[in-house]
Amino acid sequence: MSLDGLWVVEALAVGGELVPPLRGTELTLEFLEDRVSGSAGVNRFMGVVTKDPMFGPLAITLMAGSEDHMSQERIYLDHLSSVDSCEADTDDLRLIAEGLVVVVALKHPGTDGVSKTS
């Protein structure tokens, strides 16, 4: 199954439990062939998918935000760098690191393989 399209994060692991993103932030992942990009809440990132869905080094913009938002962003980006497997169906994606689900995302309707972030 192709992961191509835009995925919106519904939950990420924080302190051992899955919690929704902070109010006022949107965490996303967009896959297009062997590339990934998205929003980490404050900053944008882009990189290469090296092995579904493990990611190579990510380039990240350098904007500043509130302490809470920057903390959430660090957690999200750390999770992305530690992913070693995934489970996905048509509209649900679970990124897994060391056997634990660290990110849950839902497919944004109508975005299969259509880049919105280029």
User: pTM for this one?
Assistant: 0.89
Q: 31: Cβ–Cβ under 8 A, 6 or more apart, which residues?
A: 2, 3, 4, 5, 7, 49, 53
pLDDT in tens, 52-94: 668 889 999 999 999 999 999 999 999 999 999 999 998 999 9
56 DSSP assignment: -
Residue-by-residue DSSP string for 28-54: EEEEETTEEEEEBSSSEEEEEEEETTE
Architecture of domain 5-107: Beta Barrel (2.40)
